[in-house]
Amino acid sequence: MSMKSLIQRIYLVLLTEILTILDTLLQIIRINHYKNWINMCQKNQQYGENLETFASADTIAGVSAGVIVVGTMLGAFAAPITAGLIISFGTLLPIFWKPGEDPKTVWQAFLKIGNRPFSSPVDQALIDLLSNKARSLESQFNDFQRYFDIWNNNKTPGNAGEVLRRFSSLDADIIRELEQLKGNYYITVLPGYAQVANWHLNLLRIAAFYYDQWASSSNLSIQSIYPEDYINDLQTCLTNCAIESGNKISSKYYKCVLKCRINEYINYCSKTYQEGLNILKNSSGLKWNEYNTYRREMTLNVLDLIAVFPNYDPDKYLISTKSQLTREIYTDALIDAFANAHFNINDIENSLTRPPGLVTWINRLDFYTGMFTKSVPGLTANGINYSFTNGNSNDSPIYGYRLSDDSSTPIQIPRNQYVYNMLITYLRDSPSVIQKIEFNLNNQQTRTYDTGLTLAPTYQSTINLSLPGKDRSFPPKFNNYTHFLSYVKTAPGDERPSSSRARNVCFGWMHFSVNDYDVLAGGYNTISNKIITQIPAVKARHLPLPSFVMPGPGHTGGNLVVLSTQIEFQCIVLNPVSYKIRMRYVAYSPNRSINLTVSIRSEIGNYQNIVPNISSTVQSPEDTKNPKYEHFQYLDISIPLELFGITNITITRSDSISNNTLIIDKIEFTPDV
């Protein structure tokens, strides 16, 4: 071969490689519409190398505190209750003030979370105001707890008088402070408001049990304790409490007040959250991740907390109660720049989140890989093999856009193992070009999806996707996680998915409280023989049409079931104990025309019961679309019945009146102890 021929051949090879590289670069630029490609190696504002950036670093302290509070309250309600004491303030309050940390840190983060619907930064004066109010109340609560413990160990009249004086002062102060937080910045301060409201309910629960022991001979009128302006907002409810208690301060009165305040705080927080969400959604230039971040953080700090407020009601929950949160939240999605610029919020919402449905458990994830260009592979689609609770496995549709030559990578999730954290590596500034995803399981194993894309460290970013752990850690560890992966969805990133391969990817997470798997029995929905067990309706194994799942109102901890035909649960009863079973529901039933048939099949016997003439809990069908706290009622659906082992419960509508509506929140098992 002549020198000239050799040079020509080398030239052609180099030219081919250069054209391939240029094609790759042009494809990536086109996919992402980035004009600042030259700055690729610089830290991106949304998807940078700082792992906390993805977890909203400016609010992580508040999010973590909210998650810990909810987990602590769920544990406290399920633990053995010492009369009226659900949780000591000495356990609850330190969550908000970490040793060695600026005492304003958590409260400032709460305000940043609440202020997301507004473009302006949080004013320092508001930060000082909220943190100072909280700090002052903390001092009073600690003082009350100290004197309560003294009295509880030595119940002398003198000690009773000390705890009574501190309770009366604290109760009046916290009511006043909560009213002030309903002022001009009520949406911004909502995360802080919800926390203080929880403190107040815990205080009232104590008074509902012990007030008569502190002031058994008290003959003071209610008005002498509460100035009129303190009760105007709850005039009807509190007036009825006064009438019921003979216009005297007593434990009976405080139990009634506790119920009034549960109702007030739940409805106020639900309404205010929705108002803030609507303001944000209607703002100009909003990106889906911004919208989702507010929704996620408010769920963790407000909605999850008020979902357990009903457990404070001593008439409904006299003994310990295990609750579950079945709502699904989403970490920030990996969204292509074209989609961010051209798709509206509703389009992205519909393409990346799933509609309300029964709780599912992931058995296997299927990821599909195709070539973005000649040399750049990428994630194109995914599928999920899942099971309903104690049900059979099913395959989801393929999410995204898969071509026939795309390769498939299955990621197996063993039974009773959960993904608590993911590490995603992608082309810097181009989240739609994924290199690999590492799935961390709580058995300390890792599953990996790898597209085969090899990137130099300067051209890649790695992020953690997860929620904070039980000890404020981020990312969490295998033994302290609070959420596990429950859903994955891929969607086209632009209008030409077959050619561009640009994709958006989103991950859904469920709260660890929903995991009540029993290893020996090999199933979920485990029923305790010592405490009340709540089984959310969406943990059914079967819900045939035309029954369906509707969005929850925000204060139920998850979605609700609209029962038109039948619903079937499978539960695991570990000990042969007699249980009463009741249903928490909303109904529109003119003329008491809803009828149910309840069939129960247990390993030690079968049972059937007719529940006729269920009355309305709302005034109109419109009220069933977004029911308030007071619209939910309880109905016994069985006599005390001994159950054991695998227990199937089927609830069937036996009426056929189309304009009736029956909504089920949960069923509850109360052991006959």
pLDDT score recorded for residue 152: 94
Distances, alpha carbon 392 to alpha carbons 245, 396, 616, 624, in Å: 53, 13, 35, 31
- The domain locations on the chain are 3-39, 71-306, 328-514, 526-671
Distances, alpha carbon 424 to alpha carbons 427, 431, 440, 494, 529, in Å: 10, 9, 11, 22, 43
What is the mean pLDDT of the segment spanning 204-221?
83
Instruction: Indicate if the pLDDT at residue 54 is higher than 80.
Output: no
Task: Report residue 29's pLDDT band, with 50, 70 and 90 as the boundaries.
Answer: very low
Task: Report residue 51's pLDDT band, with 50, 70 and 90 as the boundaries.
Answer: very low
Task: Report residue 390's pLDDT band, with 50, 70 and 90 as the boundaries.
Answer: very high
pLDDT score recorded for residue 229: 52
Here the tokens at position 36 are: 């600042």
Task: Report residue 220's pLDDT band, with 50, 70 and 90 as the boundaries.
Answer: low
Instruction: Indicate if the pLDDT at residue 39 is higher than 50.
Output: no
Query: What's the distance, CA 408 to chain centroid?
Result: 32
Q: Using one digit for the tens of pLDDT, what is the confidence trace for 102-139?
A: 999 999 999 999 999 998 899 999 999 999 999 999 99
Distance of alpha carbon 547 from alpha carbon 650, whole angstroms: 13
Q: Using one digit for the tens of pLDDT, what is the confidence trace for 604-663?
A: 999 999 999 999 999 999 999 999 999 999 999 998 999 999 999 999 999 877 789 999
Average per-residue pLDDT for the chain:
88
- Name which of 51-55, 158-162, 329-333 the model is least confident about: 51-55
The class that CATH gives domain 328-514 is mainly beta
Count of beta carbons in the 10 Å neighbourhood of residue 165: 13
Instruction: Indicate if the pLDDT at residue 2 is higher than 80.
Output: no
| Maximum mean pLDDT: which of 34-38, 281-285, 299-303 | 299-303
Task: Report residue 221's pLDDT band, with 50, 70 and 90 as the boundaries.
Answer: low
- Residue 512's contacts (CB-CB under 8 Å, 6 or more residues apart) are 71, 481, 482, 483, 484
What's the length of the chain? 673
CATH of domain 71-306: 1.20.190.10
> What is the architecture, at CATH level 2, of domain 526-671?
Sandwich (2.60)
Instruction: Indicate if the pLDDT at residue 461 is higher than 50.
Output: yes
For helices 251-281 and 190-214, what crossing angle results, to 10°?
A: 180
pLDDT score recorded for residue 170: 97
Instruction: Indicate if the pLDDT at residue 230 is higher than 70.
Output: no
- Name which of 107-116, 163-172, 450-459, 520-529 the model is least confident about: 450-459
pLDDT score recorded for residue 454: 83
Q: Using one digit for the tens of pLDDT, what is the confidence trace for 612-622?
A: 999 999 999 99
pLDDT score recorded for residue 427: 83
What is the mean pLDDT of the segment spanning 198-205?
98
Contact 579, 650 (CB under 8 A): no
Cα of first residue to Cα of last residue in the chain, in angstroms, is 96
Distance of alpha carbon 305 from alpha carbon 113, whole angstroms: 15
pTM reported for the whole predicted model: 0.90
What is the mean pLDDT of the segment spanning 370-382?
86
Instruction: Indicate if the pLDDT at residue 37 is higher than 60.
Output: no
What is the mean pLDDT of the segment spanning 200-207?
98
- Name which of 176-180, 462-466, 470-474 the model is least confident about: 470-474
pLDDT score recorded for residue 228: 53
Percent of the chain having pLDDT more than 90?
A: 73
- 3-state secondary structure labels for all residues of 506-539: EEEEEEHHHCCCECCCCECCEECCCCEEEEEHHH
Query: What's the distance, CA 316 to chain centroid?
Result: 23
Percent of the chain having pLDDT more than 70?
A: 88
More confident of the two residues 81 and 444: 444
pLDDT score recorded for residue 374: 76
566 forms bridges with which residues in the sheet? Answer: 652
pLDDT score recorded for residue 45: 28
Here the tokens at position 65 are: 């505190």
More confident of the two residues 174 and 52: 174
pLDDT score recorded for residue 232: 52
Instruction: Indicate if the pLDDT at residue 23 is higher than 90.
Output: no
pLDDT score recorded for residue 413: 97
Determine what percent of the chain falls in helix, strand and coil, rounding each to the nearest 5: 40, 25, 35
pLDDT score recorded for residue 218: 58
Task: Report residue 403's pLDDT band, with 50, 70 and 90 as the boundaries.
Answer: confident
